Every structure is written in structure tokens, then in C-alpha cells.
Amino acid sequence: MSKDKIKEIMNRSPRKILDKSECYLLYESGIFGNKAVTWNSYREILESGWTGEICMRSKKGVARKQVRYNLKLEDVPKHIKQFAEIGIPENMIGFNQSMPDEKLVLQGEFMTDKGDFYLLGTTIRKPMNPALEEKSFTLEGDVAREMLVTKLSVESFCDLTGLLKAFPTSVIEFSAYKIPVGNMAETGRNTVFWEVRNY
């Protein structure tokens, strides 16, 4: 079923991602490339042997602002219960490793329009949403591109340009760090891609 859905999305012309569930399907399938280490349940986290901090967020489009950052592993069940109380069951929660916010160099949203680059960015060293709310900037054209070239590793910038070619009308949400990160950190990538979306 998920393979059929992925094929449907990838065959759209132009290619668009229409809602949160489609975004998560492609994200978890690895189509966006480097990402935070993820799990689909608390049990999966325990079975993986992970002992670090966790972030969790709703996969339901209407509740996408429901996010918990930097949770200790033992506190995760309490937050799963809180999500359930507002109508978000565990199977609609995404879990990922907490990222090294103290190492952030740039994060935000990037897109192209008629060949021009647009970047809504922040250098505040906090999780994405609070960082953008605290202080953000917009850059366009070559200035936006140059900012990305200087902050993303060569490998990560190549990934970004590949995503732009694959999803030319989409917004790409990313975070870049001073150090290699994510499930492809060993390849020198310093950037994770959180979302590619048209919603």
C-alpha cells in the first residue's frame, strides 16, 4: 500500500506533497535523504538501545504544532499519554533523536520560484519553530544560495539541489550543524531535511 502511495506521489507532474501523511511517508522511506534517527513507537526506541534525548511530534496535519523537544527517555510515556488525551494516538506520533541545537549554524525553509531562490532562515540555536519565532530573516536570489553554500557541507548542498530538482514547487525545511549529523552522519553530511511540502 505505501509503495503504491509513494509511486502516486512521485508520478505527479509537477511533483507535489499534499499533506502531512504524504510527507511522513516519503521522509520515513528515506526519499528526502539525511534525517534524524527516527522511530515509530516507544517500544522501537527501547529495542534500538537508544539512551539519549527524544523529540516527539504529531503526524496529524491538524495537530502538527504538537511537539515535545529534548525529552528524557523515561519521560516519553507521560507525553504519549498527554498526546492521547487530546486525540493523538501513539501510532500518529513521530519520534526522533534530539538534535545538537548548540551546534546549529542555519535552519529554516527554502524554495525556488521561477528560478529564484528564497530562504526563510534563523541562526538561533533552538528547535526550528521556537527559533524562527524568536528571530528570522529572509534572503533571495544569489544571496540566499551563497548562504546555503557556506553553511551546508558539499554533500548536503548536493542533497538540497537534488531535492529542488525532484520537488521543484515544494518548500524544503532543513537544519544545518557545525558537525556531521543524522542517519548519514558518517558520509560528512551536516544537514537534515525535515519536510518537503506543498501544504
Predicted pLDDT of residue 62:
55
Predicted pLDDT of residue 64:
56
The pLDDT profile of the chain, 199 residues, written as one tens digit per residue, is 689 999 999 999 999 999 989 998 999 999 999 999 999 999 999 999 999 999 999 987 655 578 999 999 999 999 999 999 999 999 999 999 999 999 999 999 999 988 899 999 999 999 998 999 999 999 999 999 999 999 999 999 999 999 999 999 999 999 999 999 999 999 999 999 999 999 9
Q: How far is CA 34 from CA 84, 94, 136, 152, 176, in A?
A: 30, 16, 24, 12, 11
One DSSP character per residue, the chain reads -HHHHHHHHHT-SS----SHHHHHHHHHTTTT-S---EESSHHHHHHHT--S-EEEEE-SGGGTT-EEEEE-GGGHHHHHHHHHHTT--GGGEEEEEPP-GGGEEEEEEEEEETTEEEEEEE--SS-HHHHHHH--EEEEHHHHHHHHHHHS-HHHHHHHHHHHHHSTTSEEEEEEESS--STTGGGT--EEEEEEE--
Predicted pLDDT of residue 63:
52
CA neighbor of 144 nearest in space, from 182, 116, 113, 179:
116
Cα-Cα-Cα-Cα torsion 185, 187, 189, 194, nearest 10 degrees, comes to -60
Q: What spatial distance separates the first Cα and last Cα of the chain, rounded to whole Å?
A: 22
Cα 194 to its chain centre, rounded Å, is: 1
Its pTM stands at: 0.88
Predicted pLDDT of residue 154:
97
Predicted pLDDT of residue 60:
77
